[in-house]
Amino acid sequence: MNTATKVLLGLCLSLCLSFPARAQLVQDFQPPQAQCCLARAASHLADELQDWNQLGRYHVDNLRLEKEQPVKGRVVFLGDSITDGWDLAKYFPGKPYVNRGISGQTTPQMLVRMYSDVIRLHPAAMIVLAGTNDIARNTGPETLEMIEDNFRALCDLAGDHDIKVILCLLLPVSDYTKSKQTEHRPPADIVSLNHWLEIFAPDVHGEVADYYTALVDEKGMLREGYSDDGLHPNARGYELMAPIAEAAIERALK
């Protein structure tokens, strides 16, 4: 076991001991299946922490695109799992669109990726869908102002390199499935961030892709049938989102 693994195991143990377990007996012992082995899992986590921003995810493909001649009308989709799971070739056939979504990411991680995953690809525009994981504290607690500052920085970098900006309004979430998404992503926080994005977009001469209005129901939830987990759009959800994105891109590139 290497030093990094030992340190990580010690940290995990200390964290576990610092929080009391729930005092509740169970009638049926059905623990979650553990991976074999703990040391291997800890080592894997230690390796991931060496690339916390996941700059390596698209490194090889970025090098390939950088060697090619810049493509007219190229658009980079920057985002989290909702972008990561979007088959752009299927929903935008023939378009020079590049997917740079990474599941689970927050705006500070995307900010670090701006040069490698966006700027050096010389796109005409970038379309950003981010913030839901910030609200969920995927990389720690943040204030609304901290998230706003990250968006400002993303847009400043894009503007400095003549890249048009499309800001996407966050999708609503729902509790209609087994996953109760509003516990981690309060609808009020989503509405607050979306409101700011709409106000901010004109300041950077950006366009808005309003996914929220298309997917929200009368209860403020993500419409039933358009997501299988209350967070990520399914095929029907992406079908609604695609023309909204396309229209915003067309406005930005005029």
Write down the pTM of the prediction.
Answer: 0.82
Q: Determine the pLDDT at residue 36.
A: 60
Q: Determine the pLDDT at residue 53.
A: 78
- Residues with Cβ within 8 Å of residue 183, at least 6 apart in sequence: none
Cα distance between residue 147 and residue 196, in whole Å: 10
Separation in Å, CA 89 to CA 93, 100, 165, 231: 5, 13, 21, 22
Pairing of strands 97-101, 164-168: unpaired
The full length of the chain comes to 254
Q: Determine the pLDDT at residue 50.
A: 75
CATH 3.40.50.1110 applies to domain 70-171+181-214+231-253 = yes
pLDDT tens digits in sequence order for the chain, 254 residues long: 555 444 444 544 444 444 444 444 445 656 566 556 666 666 666 666 777 878 999 999 999 999 998 899 999 999 999 999 999 999 999 999 999 999 999 999 999 999 999 999 999 999 999 999 999 999 999 999 999 999 999 999 999 999 999 999 999 999 999 999 999 999 999 999 999 999 999 999 999 999 999 999 999 999 999 999 999 999 999 999 999 999 999 999 99
For residue 128, report the phi and psi dihedrals to the nearest 5 degrees.
Answer: -110, 120
